[in-house]
Amino acid sequence: MNTTLAPPQVASYQQNGFVAHRGFLTTDEVAELKAAVLQCVAEMGRKKVAGGGRDMQEEENYYDKVFTQRLNLWRINPIVKRYMLNPDLGRMLCQLEGIDGMRVWHDQTLIKEPFGNPTAWHLDNPNWSFYSRHSISIWIALEEATLENGCMWFVPGSHKLARYDNVGIGTNLADLFKVYPEMAKIDTVSVPMKPGDCSFHNGLCAHGAGANMTRKRRMAMTCAYMPVGSTFNGQQNILPDVYFKSLHKGDVLANDDWNPIV
């Protein structure tokens, strides 16, 4: 695991809201993490959230054909946990966001299957149970991500324009730009990746991915992180029902079992 960021990478992240980090995992690490993720996917069947999260099932709708999405694998697999909760990764996240501590929000594998739908432009953080200008995700390519099979695209600087208005990930690629027309005036940037490369993106940076026009899947492992001290905003997202019902708006989300510090 190459957890050293060059100062220009940090500066670029803060300016653009995303940055690529090539060669994050070695070939052996990619093989280990990929096998663990595929094992989890096989165990979970159509269940989307592992380890006691909100009950969500995969269906046959448009969104479920954007990718095979399985969340919180870290809760059922020690190998996934070792990677996603790695303290050196935690230090990188804090360095990028310029803050002192991060908790896991949720991990997710996103497998854009052959001929999978595009991932509409969206913001991540407005979907989650806390609002923060310092939430961050890592997106690790476990297989090659290309322009043909749906690599990630970003709108540089959009994290500075975004509010917490939530348009979700719908079927129209560009619905986000109805809410933020100023973002549609910025040139977008694609980030094709080799296996083991990763990118980081801020939870308010606009991003999406193209369709998979190929007969091979595009497999990624991602994890989202929440700044220590973040407070509950009233949204359930993937929180377990019992925990969700126990929360009041404004409570600090500090459950070390559900959202451990990295």
Q: Is residue 68 at the binding interface for ligand AKG, with CB under 6 A as the rule?
A: no
User: What is the residue type of 242?
Assistant: V
Min CB(195)–ligand AKG separation in Å: 14
Task: Give the count of residues interacting with Fe ion (CB under 5 A).
Answer: 1
From CA 150, how far away is CA 119, in angstroms rounded?
8
Q: Do 77 and 40 touch, CB atoms closer than 8 A?
A: yes
Q: Tell me the closest approach of the beta carbon of residue 248 to Fe ion, in angstroms.
A: 27
| Closest distance of CB 250 from ligand AKG, Å | 26
Exactly one of 119, 149, 158, 230 binds ligand AKG (CB under 6 A); which one?
119
Of 130 and 247, the one with the shorter C-beta distance to Fe ion is 130
What is the sign, positive or negative, of the torsion defined by CA atoms of 80, 197, 65, 16? positive
* Residue 139 binds to ligand AKG (criterion: CB under 6 A): yes
Quick one: 112 or 134, whose CB is closer to ligand AKG? 112
Cα separation of 72 and 139, whole Å? 14
Binding status of residue 24 toward ligand AKG by CB under 6 A: no
CB of 78 to Fe ion, least distance (A): 26
Listed in sequence order, the residues at least 6 apart from 146 whose beta carbon sits closer than 8 Å to its beta carbon are 192, 214, 218
What's the closest the beta carbon of residue 14 comes to ligand AKG, in angstroms? 19
* C-alpha Rg value of the chain to the nearest Å: 17
Which residue, 69 or 233, is less far from ligand AKG as judged by CB? Answer: 69
Partners of residue 109 on adjacent β-strands: 70, 221
Distance between CA atoms of residues 257 and 262, nearest Å: 12
Q: Which residues bind Fe ion (CB under 5 A)?
A: 124
